[in-house]
Amino acid sequence: MPTTERSKLVCNPLVDSLWIGSNLKMALGRGETLRLVQHVAGLDDGAQRALVVSMPFLGESVAAAQGSGLRIGVQGCSTHDRGAYTGEVAAQDVASMGADFVMVGHAERVALGESLESFAHQVQRAREAHLKVLVCVGEEAQGDHDSDDLITQVRLIAGGQFRHGDVLAYEPYWAIGEAGREAPVDYIDARMTRVRSALGEDVTLVYGGSVNEGNCAQIASLDGASGVFVGRAAWSPAKWSGIEARVRGESQ
């Protein structure tokens, strides 16, 4: 990790090392998921790491990550506590399986019709279940909103409150996935800096959206960034390690 970044993080008790995470979406099956979990769980303690797994693999992923620093999360939960809600999954049940956090606000959930209000309820349910949250915010098109809209989203979804272990991911919707376009680094920088200054140094603020081996080191070293949230470019042990080596400055 570059010295400037290390000293920045050492000053911050809630963000004690570089954060690297990946959302596995519905892209990986059981074998591929568990291979990646086992690989990441076996890495040294030079980074904070998180994997957001598909719900059916939660129990086995938690078991495979046991005893390591790897945190396992899920891709959403019900807005309800418990009851007759067919197909929904309660936060308290996710917690009882050993999950560490619930991700809310992802652009792909917005595309499937979920609202900021629904995300806010999911955050509430997650917190009642003593789970951490990974909150995603972003704008629909490049230059569509100014950075203050990101802060409004954060306030609506999470009440602007982040606790130790929570993560905020800035992920422009237009930069995510196969159809996404890589955001210019100065564009990311301007927005991360604004969000960071509004929310303070204690928030673990990461960037996601077409992060890859070519851009990850530069993005992770931005002043406002605590790390990177990677999708498809980290979906195998070799790919994860390639990203991590670059972010940690161990490979060009």
Min separation Cβ 51 and ligand PGA, Å: 12
Instruction: Give the span between the Cα atoms of 83 and 225, in whole angstroms.
Output: 40
What element of type H or E holds 168?
Answer: strand 167-170
Instruction: Give the span between the Cα atoms of 221 and 247, in whole angstroms.
Output: 8
Instruction: Give the span between the Cα atoms of 4 and 7, in whole angstroms.
Output: 5
Min separation Cβ 23 and ligand PGA, Å: 4
Going from the C-alpha of 115 to that of each of 88, 121, 202, the distances in angstroms are 16, 10, 27
Residues between 180 and 209 with contacts to ligand PGA, criterion CB under 6 A: 180, 208-209
Residue choice 17, 78, 210, 215 for contact with ligand PGA (CB under 6 A): 210
**In terms of CB distance, is 8 or 36 closer to ligand PGA?**
36
What are the phi and psi torsion angles at 50 (to 5°)?
Answer: -145, 140
Residues between 100 and 139 with contacts to ligand PGA, criterion CB under 6 A: none
Min separation Cβ 169 and ligand PGA, Å: 7
Residue choice 46, 59, 177, 249 for contact with ligand PGA (CB under 6 A): 177
Min separation Cβ 119 and ligand PGA, Å: 15
Burial class of residue 75 (count of CB atoms within 10 Å of its CB; 0-12, 13-18, 19+): buried
Binding mask 8-27 for ligand PGA (x = CB under 6 A): ---------------x----
Q: Which residue is nearest to ligand PGA (CB)?
A: 231
Instruction: Give the span between the Cα atoms of 15 and 7, in whole angstroms.
Output: 11
Min separation Cβ 96 and ligand PGA, Å: 26
What element of type H or E holds 20?
Answer: strand 19-23
**Does 231 interact with ligand PGA (rule: CB under 6 A)?**
yes
Residues between 146 and 175 with contacts to ligand PGA, criterion CB under 6 A: 171
Residue choice 53, 129, 192, 230 for contact with ligand PGA (CB under 6 A): 230
Residue choice 232, 243, 244, 247 for contact with ligand PGA (CB under 6 A): 232
| Residues marked as catalytic | 106, 171
Residue partners of 155: CB distance under 8 A and separation at least 6: none
Helices (H), the chain: 3-10, 30-41, 58-65, 91-96, 107-111, 116-128, 147-158, 185-199, 216-220, 237-247
**In terms of CB distance, is 8 or 132 closer to ligand PGA?**
132
Residue choice 168, 211, 216, 247 for contact with ligand PGA (CB under 6 A): 211
List of residues contacting ligand PGA (CB under 6 A)? 23, 171, 176-177, 180, 208-211, 229-233
